[in-house]
């Protein structure tokens, strides 16, 4: 390499998209196995989401990701977490919650597991698949942070 030349480096461009508590994603959890805490009771949060996207190659607009392309993600977040009740598939009271749903009293979402970490993992998998499809794999989701409130959050991120 000639003297004074800087070797090329691989760079990563990142951008973030946040859907804060102002989005109104008021979600109710029940973590039935957490019998040592109040989390076994129905309890709610105004969830917030922060996504970190990454790419090695910017698009024709010099963007990592066109934020306008995320409208379906926002719609999915509202469908899953806006005034909904999250219950685990193995909750012994699932039948009761299904009855409440059938009566139009709750908007039930049955998940394999429930909790902030579980929501972060669910959002990570959904958004990663969406972004990979939308960008032909040019952009990947690096991480998602889900906030229950100002003091508690969970992060799911790509390994490695």
In Å, how far are 74, 109, 117 from 46, measured between CA atoms?
15, 16, 15
The answer to whether 115 touches 150, Cβ cutoff 8 Å, is no
* Distance from C-alpha of 141 to C-alpha of 129, rounded to nearest angstrom: 9
User: Greatest CA span in the chain, whole angstroms?
Assistant: 76
What pLDDT sits at residue 55?
A: 96
**What is the pTM assigned to this prediction?**
0.91
pLDDT score of 2 more than 70 = no
* Contacts (Cβ under 8 Å, ≥6 apart) of 58: 13, 64
DSSP 58: -
The answer to whether 127 touches 73, Cβ cutoff 8 Å, is yes
What pLDDT sits at residue 5?
A: 73
């Amino acid at each position: 390499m000639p003297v004074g030349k800087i070797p090329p480096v691989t760079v990563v461009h990142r951008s973030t998209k946040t859907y804060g508590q102002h989005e109104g994603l008021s979600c109710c959890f029940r973590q039935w196995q957490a019998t040592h805490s109040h989390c076994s009771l129905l309890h709610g949060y105004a969830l917030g989401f922060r996504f970190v996207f990454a790419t090695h190659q910017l698009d024709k607009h010099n963007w990592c990701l066109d934020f306008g392309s995320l409208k379906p993600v926002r719609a999915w977040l509202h469908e899953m977490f806006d005034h909904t009740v999250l219950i685990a598939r193995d909750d012994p009271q699932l039948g009761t919650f299904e009855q409440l749903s059938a009566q139009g009293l709750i908007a039930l979402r049955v998940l394999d597991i429930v909790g902030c970490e579980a929501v972060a993992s669910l959002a990570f998998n959904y958004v990663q698949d969406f972004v990979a499809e939308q960008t032909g794999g040019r952009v990947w989701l690096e991480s998602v942070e889900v906030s229950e409130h100002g003091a508690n959050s969970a992060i799911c991120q790509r390994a490695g």
